[in-house]
Structure 1
């Protein structure tokens, strides 16, 4: 948003500032690096990054909210100064400032961050090429039908999208540009922005609490680790993924906020359990809302569901209204239980809250039959007599009638 000009000052994107916590009585130690945690002794060793002095402190209870670190891809020449990561606020600021002196920019990564970076650079007047190793964009979030529409949306806005393209090397050119080598071709750009993956930053507790193979700290539903005096929240931990009833690493800001709140509530008394997650997420891309919740069709099949899907496209409200726009919905469900497993949305109409609605449907193990006839408001200003969520579920029911040969 900063690169595209929607947010002028990066400082405005923070949801809290240290001074607010100080007013509430919190003792803040900013610009301190925690070097060691001794869980048995309940001690912390930290270093003041300004004075380089060491600080020893003790705790009764500890909340581990160290977040995630960048997973840097293994590509020859990635240390080139023209190749920049974009995860932290400082990195985003550096990227934005550097881009002002460059025109042709390559973006590596076709997830949310990479796609949003491409949009931002287009809006700031740059020529953009987007590289995605996998065959489709947003492949962890949406199936091929929506992904193809996202790709077309980017291309319609002058982004050169290269899916199924593996970058193998970065190297300088004689005229001070940077060459990107792939398995089949070469591309010359002015700079490269990498939207990296992330890994849980849990090293301080390694060997002291139970940690998953991916490095995420394992907690119970109260955000408590295997050490009863240590809690964990946010990108450093896993969360129960309700569609598959398994623990999964899903680093989303919405999870961090909820888990942090729960850890604080449960610190001295078990008050509230985590409800788990459907990994509901979304973005606004060139005026189109893209949102999703739960499993994609491919992910549902990998989870051994007898999964099927329907695709629904229609105007969101009656044709007699003065303006209208199409809504695209993909609904994923299990044929045996008829449970709703996931949904994906794309429209210039605001459909993010529809993803939230389906998230609740999945949370409560509702079926396509429930969604087809659940009570929803009707006004021609907002929808048809049957809301589009009702209609996509009714389409799934009709498909199952055809499948089973039922009357």
Structure 2
């Protein structure tokens, strides 16, 4: 049996590893446009900020390890056409321009996403740069060495010693991940570090100036910078099979819990697909590397034998911004209300461990829950203390449909080294319980 995998970043690599493990007799052919595989996009900002000295260190897999196991690695090949009915592939070698024809028994689409370049006049200017691929990261790093003033379009950030201005189209930063209270804290953290944050600012034009600067024009004003970085969203890359199987309205590939598509011989994983978002019980397009790896793993396990279902996701994510960890999971309060929950949020703010310890740090948590069922729907955390693993814990709480009453008493270790007798996750749930006039009877 022959398996073709199109795309070899996170989902494609994960699928390949599982096929080699569970179906060693299968013949695997991989098609990938780039010469390298496994680039982590977060390496871009880590490299510019100086955390990662060598961008090559961000790659976590080498094509040779798969070639040695018998995988036919067709790197720098662009797949031009797929005929799902005939089970055939036509691709072009990007170096020799030669066309190759292939067939498959099973196909895994791991084609990922492409940058949604905004329709802004002058966006093609050489001083306006993207930051998704490894090649773009190299170009951006090189350009940044000659720049002092950098504009970031889309609410990202650069920790690199530059004078940074962030343009956010909406009224707050990180609106998909944070509600206004924590978003304001993030804004203050940035401004305290001399980052200029401009909200409600729609960029309408990029243009060169006689002084060799780049003029960034919004509807309200114009700003001169040396370089602009666009951090827009992404869109699923599924055009190869358009009209041949079922797609969502935004073009994302619709899959079942086994990562199978409407074609029984085609599986899909990663940024090209939707995920099952547990807090709303609906499919959603949430492109994250963590999703791609899990989906790719499932596609590889299930490609010949549908044995393991996806358990869905809470879209848990986080970032380190200067000295603060910011993490979120599940729904924001705004998202919960939009999903028609009778939602409310509870806030906890306090030190993560006793004051008598040599050091401690304040933790701020917003817990989102449904007043009707009392189930936890989401949470946001911010602290100089490392709270990302607490977001992971809350992800499990949402996954298991636990209530605020259960979270208030859920077993957590206690040691003054780590926390108070009631962990701060217990304490924020206890705030929620008090808001709802006490515990439910058990």
Please give the TM-score of this superposition, normalised by the length of structure 2. 0.88
Match of 1:165 among 201, 204, 207: 201
String of CA shifts for 1:132-172, please: whole Å, max 9, x gaps: 10111110001111101111111111110101111111111
String of CA shifts for 1:319-360, please: whole Å, max 9, x gaps: 111111000100000000000000001001010000000000
Contact 2:318 2:388 in 1 (8 A): yes
- Bigger drift between 395-404 and 285-294 goes to 395-404
Please give the TM-score of this superposition, normalised by the length of structure 1. 0.96
Match of 1:299 among 325, 335, 355: 335
Match of 1:205 among 241, 245, 249: 241
User: Would you say how many aligned residue pairs link Structure 1 and Structure 2?
Assistant: 396
Once residues 39 and 209 of structure 1 are traced to their aligned partners in structure 2, the CA distance between those partners, rounded to angstroms, is 9
Residue aligning to 1:13: 58
Once residues 251 and 15 of structure 1 are traced to their aligned partners in structure 2, the CA distance between those partners, rounded to angstroms, is 19
Residue aligning to 1:247: 283
2:304 matches 1:268:
yes
String of CA shifts for 1:164-223, please: whole Å, max 9, x gaps: 111111111111111111111110111111112100000001011100000000000000
1:326-405 map, 5 Å: 326-401=362-437
Residue aligning to 1:26: 71
Give the match's secondary structure for 2:418. coil
- Return the offset for 1:285: 0.8
- Return the offset for 1:24: 2.4
1:4-403 map, 5 Å: 4-110=49-155, 114-115=156-157, 118-119=158-159, 123=160, 125-401=161-437
Runs of 5+ in structure 2 lacking a partner?
Answer: 1-45
Contact 1:87 1:196 in 2 (8 A): no
- Return the offset for 1:93: 1.1
Contact 2:123 2:205 in 1 (8 A): yes
Give the match's secondary structure for 1:329. strand
Once residues 403 and 266 of structure 1 are traced to their aligned partners in structure 2, the CA distance between those partners, rounded to angstroms, is 43
Contact 2:433 2:439 in 1 (8 A): no
Once residues 358 and 227 of structure 2 are traced to their aligned partners in structure 1, the CA distance between those partners, rounded to angstroms, is 45
Query: 4+ residue stretches of structure 1 with deviation over 6 A?
Result: none
Residue aligning to 2:26: none
Once residues 56 and 192 of structure 1 are traced to their aligned partners in structure 2, the CA distance between those partners, rounded to angstroms, is 41
- Return the offset for 1:403: 12
Once residues 243 and 357 of structure 1 are traced to their aligned partners in structure 2, the CA distance between those partners, rounded to angstroms, is 15
Once residues 276 and 329 of structure 1 are traced to their aligned partners in structure 2, the CA distance between those partners, rounded to angstroms, is 24
Runs of 5+ in structure 1 lacking a partner?
Answer: none
Once residues 232 and 66 of structure 2 are traced to their aligned partners in structure 1, the CA distance between those partners, rounded to angstroms, is 31
